[in-house]
Amino acid sequence: MSSLKSILRVFLIFLLAFAIYTIYTGSLTGYDIVTGVLVSIVVSVVFSGMIIKNPLKPLNAIRWFYLITYAILYFTYYETKAHVDVIKRILHPKTPVNPAIIETYYNANSDYAITTIANSITNTPGTVVVEIDETRKAFYIHWIDAKTLDPLEAKREIFESFEKFARRIFD
Amino acid sequence: MKTVEVVVLIILILALALLITVGFEHIMPSTAVRPPAEFYLYATYNPYKLREYTVMSPEAVTAIVWDFRGLDTLFETSVFYLALIAGLALTRRLLSERAEKPGHGLSLIVKTVTRITAPMIIVVGASIALHGHLTPGGGFQGGSVIAVLPMVIIVVFSVSFLIMRGFTTSKMIIMRSLGLFGIGLTAIALFLVSLIQGTHAYVFQNMIKPDAQTSMPIYIAGALISGTLWFFNLFEMFAVAAGFSIAFIVLMLARTLQVEER
């Protein structure tokens, strides 16, 4: 069973590596396919253990559904909302900022889920994850307008919906 | 004082504007192709009229670098190797490579992102090197891209992490030497073949020449490889990737020891 899993793991990374090789090369002649397959085999054998732990997760359609939903929702709704807020603050003659670094607690287990939450927070203007404490499960977030210093309320304001999606995709 | 500064600044800006306006035609490079470039573009891939001087590669830069001035590139590679030997000699007492505990490195977020990007760096570097005779790029460029990975791992994880994973300098030196050996062998391949056949050939020869009719294979199974160019790019990729890795590891080991001694 474990050997089957590691073969599946190598195969998934092989697909990823070959896709990147093809996209980067920009053509699909016989030469590209042969060299791409050879390079991808080497890369996937070397790196598969480093990237995927459980190969059944990437084969789960429900996770992919949530990933696509989250990507669309994030890049349209959440990004626009955060941008509009920051643009208002920049253009306002008094520059109404109230910056602070706050401590909040996340509730996710896998590395990828934590990274997704942290990068989602950093990518929206106005909030940046400055530091992470894995033992206490804490994010230290620099917030342009610290409405509250309470960890739970700050979490609700900043990243509760990100976390919900990230856990469904990766945990 | 302030008015003087402003006046000087205005004069400078006006002078620069005048210079650009008047000198535009001289400053801006002309879009026309110069005579040497015209010759190289004509000769790089010309199986019809120039069969005895062409390189059979559509990428002019690689054709110049590995064929028209191939010996020059070989010596450049040797200079790089000599620099590495000097670096290794200077830091030889560090190379016991105490693979003790790896350092803390950066945060979990950076580490996770590095783990995903690691295979992509290798794949992109390999693509640049393997298409060096077709598109801009080549062995040195591809090898440099691949060498980004050990650099990133050293910064994000730590140098002991890299060594514990098997990326020791001695293994890198072996890879580097094999790459150089391949380059040397490619350079004299045609000469050795003609020696056996009893015909006439040059060192560093790629395609047929007027008085040397042996040629490296232009196509392998229908794919254009442009003779020696493909082999040079492949071996140079290994040599350069390993060479830069040695340099990064040695530099960071020296720094770690310096911090510990303090």
Question: Is residue A72 predicted with pLDDT exceeding 80?
Answer: yes
pLDDT band of residue B96 (cuts 50, 70, 90) is low
Residues A81 and A112 in one domain: yes
pLDDT in tens, B64-87: 999 888 889 999 988 988 998 888
Q: Indicate the residue among A58, A77, A103 that finishes a domain.
A: A58
Cβ of A63: how many Cβ atoms within 10 Å? 15
What residues in chain B have their Cβ under 8 A from chain A's Cβ atoms? 107-109, 111-113, 115-116, 118-120, 122-124, 126-127, 130-131, 221-224
Which stretches of chain B are assigned E, i.e. beta strand?
A: 219-220, 223-224
* Partners of residue B224 in chain A, C-beta under 8 Å: 31
Report the SS3 class of residue B52.
Answer: coil
Question: Is residue A66 predicted with pLDDT exceeding 90?
Answer: yes
Torsion over CA: B196, B197, B201, B204 (sign): negative
Distance CA B88, CA B252 (A): 13
Residues A65 and A137 in one domain: yes
> Do A39 and B127 lie within an 8 Å CB cutoff?
yes
Residues A52 and A14 in one domain: yes
Residues A89 and A139 in one domain: yes
Q: How many domains would you assign to chain A? A: 2
Domain containing residue A106: 61-170
Instruction: Provide φ and ψ at B172, rounded to 5°.
Output: -65, -35
Contact by Cβ (8 Å): B235, B180: yes
> Do B126 and A35 lie within an 8 Å CB cutoff?
yes
pLDDT in tens, B187-223: 998 888 888 988 888 888 888 888 888 888 888 888 8
pLDDT at B97: 54
> Do A51 and B119 lie within an 8 Å CB cutoff?
yes
pLDDT at B95: 60
Q: Closest approach of chain A CAs to the CA of B123, in angstroms? A: 6
Residues A50 and A125 in one domain: no
Q: Closest approach of chain B CAs to the CA of A30, in angstroms? A: 7
Amino acid identity, residue A12?
L
pLDDT in tens, B101-119: 667 788 899 999 999 999 9
Question: Is residue B137 predicted with pLDDT exceeding 90?
Answer: no
pLDDT at B147: 94
Each domain of chain B, given as residue ranges in start order, spans 59-261
Of A29, A39, A111, the CB nearest to B112: A111
Residues A68 and A128 in one domain: yes
Residues A50 and A95 in one domain: no
This prediction's pTM: 0.84
Of B127, B222, B223, the CB nearest to A21: B127
Beta bridge partners, A129, equal A141
Average pLDDT over residues A136-158: 89
SS (H, E, C) B55-87: CCCCCHHHHHHHHHCHHHHHHHHHHHHHHHHHH
Half-sphere exposure of A23 (CA within 13 A, CB side): 7
Question: Is residue A1 predicted with pLDDT exceeding 60?
Answer: no
Residue A150 per-residue DSSP state: -
pLDDT in tens, A8-64: 889 999 999 999 999 999 888 889 999 999 999 999 998 888 888 888 888 888 999
Percentage of chain B modeled with pLDDT above 90 = 30
Residues A41 and A65 in one domain: no
pLDDT at B99: 54
Distance CA B249, CA B167 (A): 9
Cβ contacts of residue B131 below 8 Å, gap of 6+? Answer: A25, B137
Residue A127 per-residue DSSP state: E
Distance CA A41, CA A47 (A): 10
pLDDT in tens, B138-187: 889 999 999 999 999 999 988 888 888 878 888 899 999 999 999 999 99
Helix (H) or strand (E) run with residue A55 in it: none
Residue of B nearest to A112 (CA): B112
pLDDT at B101: 67
Q: Tell which residue, A120, A116, A125, has the closest CA to residue A84.
A: A125
Q: Closest approach of chain A CAs to the CA of B62, in angstroms? A: 17
Residues A17 and A101 in one domain: no
| Mode of pairing for the β-strands spanning B219-220 and B223-224 | antiparallel
What residues in chain A have their Cβ under 8 A from chain B's Cβ atoms? 13, 16-17, 20-21, 24-25, 29-31, 34-36, 39-40, 43-44, 46-47, 50-51, 111-112, 114-115, 118-119, 129, 131-132, 134
Q: Indicate the residue among A18, A34, A58 that finishes a domain.
A: A58
Residue of B nearest to A114 (CA): B109
ipTM rounded to 2 decimals: 0.88
Question: Is residue A98 predicted with pLDDT exceeding 60?
Answer: yes
Average pLDDT over residues A130-139: 91
Beta bridge partners, A103, equal A140
Contact by Cβ (8 Å): B96, B208: no
